[in-house]
Amino acid sequence: MNFYSSFIKRMFDFLTSLIGIIIISPLLLILIVLLSIYNDGKPFFYQERTGIKGQIFTIIKFKTMNDKKDKDGNLLPDEKRLTPVGNFCRKFSLDELPQLFNILKGDMSLIGPRPLLPKYVPRYNKEQIKRLDVIPGITGWAQVNGRNAISWEEKFKYDVYYVKNQSFALDAKIFVHTIINVLNKKDINTEDGSAMPEFMGTEENST
């Protein structure tokens, strides 16, 4: 990592997340209470993700779907488990807010490739795995260039481009475009990644 990413960016991430948590704490408390009511006392969604250099950490998001099951004990389809409060959170990406605590801990950054499931790591090719050379972020270059509307291969190309061109100017550009996308409610993700098919790997000669 260069001086910008290892020191300046880390200080900015820490201060921004700390101030952000303090400022939006009333909103966080309201959402925790409402989601607890709709999700049987479980307002948060936890999942293991892969961070920088393949380190595993637990990501935290607001839980937008309940755990209701059918008579056979299987979870109901996503659309039937999405709660009204959860749907509101998704529309404005409020489900991502708890990740400010991941940033505070140093697991994540505001800007960087999205952290994905550990099982994907062995499936990356030699170029795609470079996305693990930086701290993952809440939003990134791939997210403002299509998010779930583009293929995994395209996403990873954007991620690797970010790794190779990381700078304050690029981070600022991503941040501005993210705000615009959120206000326009563009390219909303689901909490479990079901909006994208599972990544199964890429042929070396296709990148």
Using one digit for the tens of pLDDT, what is the confidence trace for 113-144? 999 999 999 999 999 999 999 999 999 999 99
Indicate the range of 102-111, 119-128, 181-190 predicted with least confidence.
Answer: 181-190
Q: How many domains does the chain have?
A: 1
Mean of all residue pLDDT scores within the chain: 89
d(CA 24, CA 28): 6
User: Tokens 């409060």 sit at which residue?
Assistant: 85
What is the predicted pLDDT for the residue at 187? 59
Residue 19 DSSP one-character state: H
Q: Which domain holds residue 182?
A: 3-206
Between 180 and 109, where is the model more confident? 109
pTM of the model: 0.84
Strands (E), 93-165: 109-111, 137-139
Helices 84-91 and 25-38, packing angle to 10 deg:
140
Q: How confident is the model at residue 1 (pLDDT cuts 50, 70, 90)?
A: low
Average pLDDT over residues 157-164: 96
Q: Mean pLDDT over residues 184-204, rounded?
A: 65
Torsions phi, psi of 4, nearest 5?
A: -60, -50
* Confidence band, pLDDT 50/70/90 cuts, at residue 29: very high
DSSP string, 20-80: HHHHTHHHHHHHHHHHHHHTTT--EEEEEEE-GGG-EEEEEEE--B---B-TTSPBPPHHH
Report yes or no: 15 and 100 within 8 Å, Cβ to Cβ.
no
pLDDT at 156 over 90: yes
